[in-house]
Amino acid sequence: MNQLEQLKQYTTVVADTGDFQSIKAYAPQDATTNPSLILKAVQKPEYRPLLEKAIADAPGASTEAIVDSLLIAFGVEILKYVPGRVSTEIDAALSFDTEATVAKGRELIALYEKNGVSRERVLIKIASTWEGIRAAEILEKDGIHCNLTLLFSLCQAVACAEAGVKLISPFVGRIYDWYKKSTGTDYQGADDPGVQSVKRIYQYYRKFGYDTEVMGASFRNTSQILELAGCDLLTISPDLLQKLADSDAPVERKLVKDDSADIEKIAMDEKTFRFMLNEDAMGTEKLAEGIRAFVADSLKLKQMIEGMR
C-alpha cells in the first residue's frame, strides 16, 4: 500500500480543497472548505459555472446571500464525492459576534436542507474565538455540528471540548510557520511545534474523556502528517495527498492514548481563556492573522460577484 492507503488505516483522511476532481481522485472520507479555497476554485474555468449560476438564480438578492448560495452549491457538489461530511465556513467577519454566528449557522443549515442535504453531513466552520465557541455551543444544542477552525492554543481546544463542539481543526503548519520565523529553526518530525500542539490536545482529550474530534489541519509537508498518524482526522491539501500516494514508505501509528501522560485539567472560563490566549504570542498572532486573511478573501469573493452582476 502507498502511504495514503496506510494512513487511512489509522486516521480518517479529509480533503482540504474545493476542487471536486481532487476529491474524486483521492477518495477521502470528508472534505473541508474555507473562503480562500472557494475563492481559488471559482477562478478556475471548470468551477466558474457554479458562481455564474449562484448569481443568475438570485437577481435581487444581496451579495452576502449569493455568497451563501455559492458555499452551499460547492458543498452539495462535494458531497457527491465524499461519503461523509463537508465543512462550510461562516464569514470570519462574524468571529466576534455570537448572535450573528448562530444566525448564520442556522441559515446555512437551512439552505443545505432545502437542497436535500441532512445536517448530519455538514460541519459549520467557525473561528475559535471565545464568541465563536459560545456560538458553536448553541448550534450544537440545535443538532448543528461545528468545526472550530483557526485553532492554535490549548486553551482554545479546552474551551471547545467543554462547549461540546463536534470537531476542532488545530493548524499545524501555521504554528510551524510562526516558530520557524521566530527562532530560525526548520523543525523536523516530532520536534515540530505544530505536531507537538496537536499531540498535546489529543492526549488532553483522551485523558479527560472528551468526545470532540481532533482534525489536524494546515500542513506544510508529509512529515507533519505522518507524525500525526492515529489522530482522529487529518485534512490534507491535494498536493500533499499526491505525495503520500506516490510513496510506499511505511507508515506507523504515532498517536495513541497515553494514560501516563502528565496532564493537569484546566478549569476554563472566559477570563482564563482570554488570559491564556494573551500569554501565547503565537496563538494570539496567528488567530488574528487568520481571521484577517479569511475576511480579505471573503471580500475579494464579494467584489468578484458584484463585478459580475
Kindly tell me if the per-residue pLDDT of 159 is higher than 90.
Answer: yes
Provide mean pLDDT across the span 25-43. Answer: 94
Nearest to 163 by CA among 153, 176, 148: 148
**Rounded distance, CA 205 to CA 197, Å?**
12
**Which domains occur in the chain, in start order?**
3-307 (3.20.20.70)
Residue 181 annotated to the active site:
no
Model confidence pLDDT, tens digit, residues 62-92: 999 999 999 999 999 999 999 999 999 999 9
Kindly tell me if the per-residue pLDDT of 212 is higher than 90.
Answer: yes
Please report which confidence band the pLDDT of residue 261 belongs to, taking 50, 70 and 90 as the band edges. Answer: confident
From 24, 44, 80, 125, active-site residue? 125
pLDDT at residue 16, rounded to an integer:
96
Residue with cell 487511512: 8
Q: What is the pTM of this model?
A: 0.96
Kindly tell me if the per-residue pLDDT of 260 is higher than 90.
Answer: no
217: helix, strand or coil: strand
Please report which confidence band the pLDDT of residue 117 belongs to, taking 50, 70 and 90 as the band edges. Answer: very high
